[in-house]
Chains A and B, each alone.
Chain A
Amino acid sequence: MDFDNLFGIHERALVLRSQRAEILSANLANADTPGYKARDIDFKAMLQQQMGDGMRMATTSSGHIQAESGTVPPAQLLYRVPSQPSLDGNTVDSEREHAAFGTNAIEYQTSLSFVNSKISGLRKALKGE
């Protein structure tokens, strides 16, 4: 059994989900800010990128620092396509952001319960009862 990759995809998914929650919370806080553009990440693409090791940066010197997994590079932070124009240039649709935040929270808890069941399964195996 590989303990480095015990939780598999769920470990990375949890980090990404929490970051997406942060981005969506900023959208909701700025729901009335003139000129603010709502932002989001492409969760699927980012998770695929973080799971595949082929996309890692090449390090040719000991001073090179590998991008920390679980951080969102600015280029990956996308702008939401507004569903309706507003006079003050704000593209936050409160209802849409709310729905996205709620869905994201549920999905976070889903990943969390997968991790939890993995832990309890291991516990059971260790105890051998």
Chain B
Amino acid sequence: MSMFRIFDTAATGMSAQTLRMNLVASNMANADAVSNSRDETYRARQPVFQTMLDQFNPDAVAHGVRMAGVVESDAPLIQEHAPDHPLANEEGYIFRSNVNMVEEMANMLSASRSYQSNVEVANSAKQLLLATLRMGQ
């Protein structure tokens, strides 16, 4: 029965959106992270989603989603001259992370909306299945 596969598909969507929210949380927590070199500074991380193609069943009609990887933003870091800062390097510079709070908030809202829509899909599928089980009663 194909209706059962809806739960699998919705679950992959929920899990992918949860990972995305995890990354948003990580970005927000590290938004104010400071370091003394360009390489060690925290950069905003974003997930890359990918459709889960079933290689054993190329004729399958529906495919779930998974996270293919995480990319680090290459937006420029904020370089600040602060010789008094305890983490300042020899030239007196510190580097702040390139996390954009507004972008992260929008990303979080989008992720939670997508999560919700997957939950609703699973709920509707459950109701339809229960109604089918009651058929003829």
Report which A residues bind B (CB closer than 8 A). 14, 18-19, 21-26, 28-34, 36, 39, 72-74, 77, 94, 98, 101-102, 105, 108-109, 112, 115-116, 119-120
Contact = CB atoms under 8 A, between A and B. Distances in A.
A111 B38 CA distance: 63
A77 B61 contact: yes
B79 interface: no
A104 B10 CA distance: 17
Contacts, number: 101
The secondary structure that dominates the A interface is: helix
Given A22-B2, A25-B6, A31 B128 contact: no
A109 B128 contact: yes
B2 A25 contact: no
Given A22-B61, A33-B50, A33-B51, A28 B128 contact: no
Contact of B128 (A18, A39, A74): A18
12 contacts: A23-B62, A25-B121, A29-B12, A29-B16, A30-B13, A31-B13, A32-B16, A94-B113, A101-B124, A112-B135, A115-B136, A116-B136
A23 B65 CA distance: 13
Contact of B1 (A18, A30, A73): A18
Contact of A22 (B9, B113, B114, B132): B9
Nearest to B5: A22
Nearest to B120: A98
A122 B23 CA distance: 57
A21 B6 contact: yes
* Top-3 shortest CB links A-B: A29-B13, A26-B62, A119-B136
A18 B132 CA distance: 11
B135 A74 contact: no
B84 interface: no
B90 to A, nearest CB: 42
A112 B49 CA distance: 36
B9 A26 contact: yes
A29 B118 contact: yes
Nearest to A98: B117
